């Protein structure tokens, strides 16, 4: 039992009185809140090595004065209504008189966090902004079976500390095989580190590759999650304008240490980086010694055009860190992602992961290894790709029907969202508010000036009917 207060055996005050005073003061200063259950007299006596009668006498006095109450059969609790106003009033006036507590001093990192804005998720009956996978289609009964299997076995690699910071070894094997099969990434399982979603992968990259003041190149427009993260680490951000060919390093300073890109399906424009642009970027990084962080967050969903291998597969892999996530192919709350690292960086990343949180939860990792090994992931991705393609087609049809050629669409060949520029943005916004449709503007993804008429439209977690109706309402 944790010790709620100290007793002083050398004090002239009797122990029974000390127990009484300790509870009473704690109740009055708010440390023991109304409804808190007290330890039993037996447990408290044992904890302090005092006689039970000492504790019982103190409890009885507190009960008699109304500081405590008993609930039949379930124990002793701090009273929900305190006995007399006097101590409370005394407490209030004491509080008023006391100087305000000194503000907690924050680190430079802590202070930089103040500039980051977290927007609450919007709610509207027709939500065209939700880029989540369709969770109603995830095979949860199957997932439950796989998790239960490992709970039943309770093997040391799952419930003990045997697996270490790199992740569950079966999962690291499966990830290496999956990437070879689907993304042409050649790596050994030893290069894979399992983390809590790609956000942690990016955080570890920032910790290990950047010092405050270092330059980092990010796509413009780009993923806010990465811009905010690098800024929080004190990095200087160099925006790389995204054209239809992808992000260009043309005007990026040569002292950039890290380049973050989403080449398969750029976030948020949705464009795919062309092969010449990928080669240009790889060559640029080779010459300058920068590290490319390839964030392949939703490449599994490609609907048209040839499948594009990962950038990682094009070079030697010596200066590319590949980052992947299960948030979009499984579900966000799983919080599992991975890094594929150049061999020379593996130990340092594993140490940083160890210091951050030891390892990602093993039960889910073991279940996920089976999910991949038994073919469920490939099957699920195939099914979802068909579903999302149908929804994307419906979205394109709806734009064509209600906006015609005036809707300028980009990034519809892959992923779970596309970007669109619409002619009369003010009317679209007014319609969205009036007809209760949520559509996301791309403004927050630009660090500079954003086009006023660009929107991101997600189609993965919304029915075909709702897509048609949503676009119709925007066009009224
Ligand atoms: C560019 C980018 N990276 C990563 C992620 C996924 O983050 P996480 O794996 O932490 O859920 C997203 C979210 O969809 C994203 O848009």
List, for residues 160-207, the tens digit of each pLDDT value: 988 899 999 999 999 999 999 999 999 999 999 999 999 999 999 999
Q: How far is the CA of 114 from the centre of ligand 1 (A)?
A: 22
**Candidate of 175, 226, 262, 297 to mutate for ligand 1, largest count of ligand atoms within 8 Å of Cβ:** 297
Average pLDDT of the chain to the nearest whole number: 93
Least confident of 43-47, 217-221, 390-394: 43-47
Residue closest by Cα to atom 13 of ligand 1: 297
pLDDT at 472: 97
In whole angstroms, give the CA distance from residue 468 to residue 114.
40
Measured from CB, residues less than 6 Å from any atom of ligand 1 are: 197-199, 223, 262, 267, 295, 297, 325, 327-328, 332, 337
The pLDDT-based confidence of 274 (bands split at 50, 70, 90) is very high
* Each residue's pLDDT tens digit, 415-465: 999 999 999 999 999 999 999 999 999 998 999 999 989 999 999 999 999
Q: How far is the CA of 359 from the centre of ligand 1 (A)?
A: 20
**Candidate of 225, 262, 321, 330 to mutate for ligand 1, largest count of ligand atoms within 8 Å of Cβ:** 225
Q: How far is the CA of 324 from the centre of ligand 1 (A)?
A: 9
Work out the angle between the directed axes of helices 464-474 and 376-403 (0-180°, nearest 10): 30
Q: How far is the CA of 139 from the centre of ligand 1 (A)?
A: 22
In whole angstroms, give the CA distance from residue 231 to residue 218.
11
Please determine, for residue 349, whether its predicted confidence score (pLDDT) is greater than 90. yes
Q: How far is the CA of 198 from the centre of ligand 1 (A)?
A: 6
pTM of the full predicted structure? Answer: 0.82
- The ligand 1 atom at the shortest distance from the C-alpha of residue 337 is 9
Q: How far is the CA of 269 from the centre of ligand 1 (A)?
A: 15
Residue closest by Cα to atom 14 of ligand 1: 297
Q: Beta strand 440-441 with 454-458: parallel, antiparallel or unpaired?
A: antiparallel
Beta bridge pairs of residue 239: 218
Q: How far is the CA of 186 from the centre of ligand 1 (A)?
A: 22
The proportion of the chain whose per-residue pLDDT surpasses 70, expressed as a percent, equals 97
**Candidate of 266, 325, 414, 417 to mutate for ligand 1, largest count of ligand atoms within 8 Å of Cβ:** 325
Please determine, for residue 123, whether its predicted confidence score (pLDDT) is greater than 80. no
Contact in structure between 78 and 36 (CB atoms under 8 Å): yes
- The ligand 1 atom at the shortest distance from the C-alpha of residue 295 is 3
pLDDT at 296: 96
Residue closest by Cα to atom 3 of ligand 1: 297
The pLDDT-based confidence of 314 (bands split at 50, 70, 90) is very high
pLDDT at 3: 79
The pLDDT-based confidence of 93 (bands split at 50, 70, 90) is low
Number of Cβ within a 10 Å radius of residue 252: 20
Number of Cβ within a 10 Å radius of residue 213: 8
């Amino acid at each position: 039992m944790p010790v709620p207060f100290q007793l002083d055996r050398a004090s002239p005050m009797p122990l029974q009185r000390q127990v009484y005073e300790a509870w009473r003061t704690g109740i009055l200063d708010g440390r023991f809140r109304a409804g808190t259950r007290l330890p039993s007299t037996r447990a408290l006596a044992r904890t302090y090595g005092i006689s039970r009668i000492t504790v019982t006498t103190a409890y009885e006095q507190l009960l008699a004065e109304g500081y405590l109450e008993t609930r039949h059969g379930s124990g002793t609790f701090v009273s929900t209504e305190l006995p007399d106003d006097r101590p409370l009033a005394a407490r209030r006036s004491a509080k008023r008189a006391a100087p305000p507590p000194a503000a907690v001093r924050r680190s430079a990192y802590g202070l930089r966090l103040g500039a980051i804005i977290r927007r609450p998720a919007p709610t509207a009956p027709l939500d065209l902004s939700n880029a989540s996978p369709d969770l109603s289609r995830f095979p949860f009964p199957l997932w439950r079976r796989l998790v239960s299997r490992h709970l039943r076995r309770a093997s040391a690699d799952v419930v003990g500390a045997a697996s270490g910071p790199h992740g569950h070894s079966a999962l690291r094997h499966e990830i290496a095989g999956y990437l070879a099969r689907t993304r042409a990434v050649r790596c050994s399982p030893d290069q894979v580190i399992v983390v809590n979603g790609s956000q942690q992968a990016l955080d570890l990259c920032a910790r290990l590759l950047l010092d405050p003041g270092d330059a980092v190149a990010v796509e413009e427009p780009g993923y806010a999650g990465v811009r905010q993260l690098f800024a929080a680490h004190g990095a200087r951000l160099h925006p790389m304008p995204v054209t239809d060919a992808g992000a260009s390093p043309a005007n990026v300073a040569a002292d950039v240490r890290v380049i973050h890109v989403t080449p398969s399906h750029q976030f948020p424009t949705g464009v795919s980086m062309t092969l010449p642009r990928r080669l240009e970027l790889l060559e640029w990084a080779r010459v300058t010694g920068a590290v490319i962080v390839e964030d392949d967050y939703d490449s599994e969903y490609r609907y048209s055009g040839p499948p594009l291998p990962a950038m990682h597969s094009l070079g030697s892999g010596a200066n590319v860190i590949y980052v992947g996530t299960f948030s979009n192919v499984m579900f966000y709350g799983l919080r599992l992602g991975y890094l594929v690292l150049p061999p020379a960086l593996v130990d340092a990343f594993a140490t940083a992961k160890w210091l951050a949180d030891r390892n990602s939860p093993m039960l889910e990792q073991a279940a996920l290894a089976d999910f991949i090994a038994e073919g469920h992931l490939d099957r699920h991705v195939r099914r979802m790709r068909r579903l999302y393609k149908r929804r994307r087609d419906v979205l394109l049809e709806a734009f064509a029907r209600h906006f015609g050629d005036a809707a300028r669409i980009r990034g519809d060949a892959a992923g779970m969202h596309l970007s669109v520029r619409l002619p009369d943005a003010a009317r679209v916004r007014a319609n969205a508010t009036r007809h209760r449709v949520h559509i996301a503007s791309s403004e927050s993804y630009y660090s500079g000036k954003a086009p006023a008429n660009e929107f991101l439209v997600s189609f993965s977690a919304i029915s075909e009917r709702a897509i048609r109706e949503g676009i119709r309402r925007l066009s009224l």
